[in-house]
Amino acid sequence: MTGKRVVVAMSGGVDSSMAAAILKEQGYQVIGVTMQIWPQDKQAAGGCCGLGAVEDARMVAHKLSIPHYVMNFRKIFTQTVIVDFYKEYSQGRTPNPCIRCNQYIKFDVLLHRAKEMDADFIATGHYGRIKHSPDGYRLLKGVDPAKDQSYFLYTLGQKELCHLLLPLGNLHKAEVRKLAAELELPTATSPDSQDICFIPDGDYRSFIAAYIPLKSGDIVDTHGNIIGRHRGLAAYTVGQRQGLGLASDRRLYVIKLDAGSNRLIVGTEDQLLSRKLIACQLNWVSGKAPGVFTGITAKIRYGSPEVAVKLSPGNGTTEVSFLEPQRAIAPGQAAVFYQGETVLGGGIIEASKTKQEGKHAKHQVATIPC
């Protein structure tokens, strides 16, 4: 029996429910906390941390005989996640709000609240692992390759990892559901959460339009020829093919969103390929850049495969070169770096260099400096 106190972030899903159950079984003093993050005028029954999720978490806590609290994080969530989300889109970028929520809400605000409750740890239902070594704490991939969520955790550092527990890292999702059913948890069959918890219907374009005006502009090809009109850059993302409203004998894709001139640049699928990217706002899990930049792989979005890369660090940035060109690299997304099963860290994609650009071509200019 450890007897140590842990605050579990309970989102109302099966993963966080089982995280709480496992830790209680291991002898921790478990406290369940559900974060209210939805703007009060946009409350909904479904979705992560919505009204329905609060009730589900409460039922699980009752089943496990653990205390459960609801904490109001609406204001800080709006300031750090929602505002950033629509501002990034307004500048032609594609943000990842889940990463930002982890960084600023779960592993900052919630961690501080947990310490105020005299808790030794916080815990989440993420599929990742933490290992202590002589050099400090290491962040590892979850053992289930289909559910590994270490990509979303790259902003963690030593001061967070020493207070974090990830009970599901050594389990596969099927095992988690089986265990939840055996414990008769109310969330055993609940569906997996969606990518953007604060947009329950998935219509991010309408969500953004409620916050910022969409200004129409020209659609141009890679030679600068005007071939159509767009309805507002925030309605598009790099790699998009559907909904462009163009008549062409070729399949055209969004290559770049030029916020400076309010132009949407489109091209062929081959023109989506990039050889390099620049990442900024870097975080290294160990607290410092790795000493050896060999044997490193990277993911340029959560759903993309890991690919071999070469890193060339600069002043607060790193150039990432791919052995094989990558498709649809979107500024605003995160590039996360791995060495085997270890998460080295990552950064925000600032710009990319396409396969067609010449040796001395400049990187595409991004809208927000590192």
E strand segments, 249-314: 253-258, 263-267, 273-284, 296-299, 307-313
Neighbours of 291 (CB within 10 A): 6
What DSSP element (H or E) covers 219? strand 217-220
Nearest Cα to Cα of residue 15 among 148, 149, 180, 128: 180
Q: Is 49 a catalytic residue?
A: no
Q: Name the catalytic one among 48, 49, 98, 101.
A: 101
Q: Under a CB-based contact definition with an 8 Å cutoff, are residues 31 and 197 in contact?
A: no
Distance CA 126, CA 329 (A): 25
What DSSP element (H or E) covers 74? helix 74-77
Q: Is 101 a catalytic residue?
A: yes
3-state secondary structure at position 222: coil
Q: Name the catalytic one among 48, 49, 98, 197.
A: 197
Radius of gyration of the chain (CA): 22
| Residue 306 amino acid letter | E
Q: Phi-psi bin for 92: left (phi > 0), alpha (psi -120 to 50), beta?
A: left
Residue 38 vs residues 96, 210, 304: alpha-carbon distances, Å:
17, 15, 29
Q: What is the dihedral of CA 61, 103, 196, 181, to 10 degrees?
A: -30
Helices and strands of the chain, counted as H and E runs: 9, 17
Nearest Cα to Cα of residue 92 among 190, 233, 197: 233
β-pairing, 5-9 vs 29-36, is parallel
Give the active site residues.
Answer: 101, 197
